[in-house]
Amino acid sequence: MANPKVAVVVPADRSGVSYREIEAAGCNVELADASWSAGFNATNEAYLSLCANADAVIGSRLEGLPITRERLSKLKNLRIYCRYNIGYDDIDLKAASDLGIIVTNSPVESNWGSVAENTFALMLSMLKRIPERDRHVREGGWREDEPAARYIGRRLDGYEGLTVGLVGLGRVGSRMADLLQPWRVKLLAHDPYVDQSKFVHHNAIPVDMEPLLQNADVISLHCDLNDGSRSMINEKQFSLMKPTAIFLNTARGGLVDYDALFDALDRNVIAGAGLDVFETEPLPKQSSILSLGDKVVLTPHSAGRTPGGINQNAIVMQTEILLTALRGVVPKYVVNTEVLPKWRERFGNKSLI
């Protein structure tokens, strides 16, 4: 019997340790071109060639190359698709389940915790107007005509503080809620998919979406992208927000109608936005968002990336998951659990290593 083939679509492990571990288990490892290491530059032809006859695929998201039913259907031997990312919205999960392919993700704290921290930093940057104040000083200014910052938490003098609204109370949203606790803000949250006890645990007031948008001074998205949530924030939702509101998105670009966001900022429907994710990535140089100046603070979909963080932890996790699946055992962190009956029928207890 030939050794199982493992295709590495994003060769993020620069040390090569994980690849040697997979080879030591009896697999043939084939790496994508080094130019794919940041998730870009993959072509359909090269992708299908790399993954042909693969029993397992491992790596990160390939920008501009969604994992569609058509692509998955060509991978006849595939039993598992391992992702170093938390997100998997670019993979057709229904197709994977129909074809009997497990998809796993990497909910490592170094990723989601960092996203929460980055969200918090964007919030502070916008409310305290750090980029504007920095430029003011560099251009020779001091306190004259200084851009005014906002005080965040309630005070003993009767100032009630700001209201922060979190859309989604999963890992990132919960950590964001915890980071906000010492700041004495009023915390609203909307998440119909979590138990009431989670709101209590994180000191958040459960509310429907509309009152959250109407009452929050800061609105921050922390939800998954799927068919039901795509463009969930559009012209109607922006029209409900305060003209002083700050909007934050470190979740997924597809959650927001970015044309509507541009219009809301351009027409002063809302005051500003802190963004780490976009509809098109990398953000095109001609994007209208770039013309908004200090109304936006932007980061390059890097909120979850810290040295020694996501890749190191996720690579170790997914290497173990991959080898588990090749031994015919259901691994951890399966995101399309509906596949399991068919997967067990096809691969259960059928070890390749």
Q: Which of 63, 235, 281, 320 is catalytic?
A: 281
3-state secondary structure of 278: coil
Q: What CA–CA distance (Å, rounded) separates 278 from 219?
A: 17
Q: Is 136 a catalytic residue?
A: no
Q: Which of 21, 190, 252, 279 is catalytic?
A: 252
Residue 228 neighbours by CB under 8 Å, 6+ apart? none
> Which tokens hold the place of 204?
């958040």
E strand segments, 244-350: 246-249, 272-275, 296-298
Backbone angles phi, psi at 89, to 5 degrees: -70, -15
Nearest CA to 73 among 88, 58, 51? 51
Q: Is 252 a catalytic residue?
A: yes
3-state secondary structure of 296: strand
Amino acid at the residue 300? P
Residue 2 neighbours by CB under 8 Å, 6+ apart? none
CB-based burial of residue 128 (10 Å sphere; 0-12 exposed, 13-18 middle, 19+ buried)? middle
Q: Tell me the H-state helices in 148-253.
A: 171-180, 196-201, 209-215, 235-240
Provide the greatest CA pair distance for the chain. 77
User: What are the distances in angstroms from CA 191 to CA 84, 111, 167?
Assistant: 26, 21, 6
Contact 76, 51 (CB under 8 A): no
Q: Is 281 a catalytic residue?
A: yes
Q: Which of 79, 175, 190, 301 is catalytic?
A: 301
Other Cβ atoms within 10 Å of 211 Cβ, number: 14
Contact 100, 344 (CB under 8 A): no
Active site members: 252, 281, 301
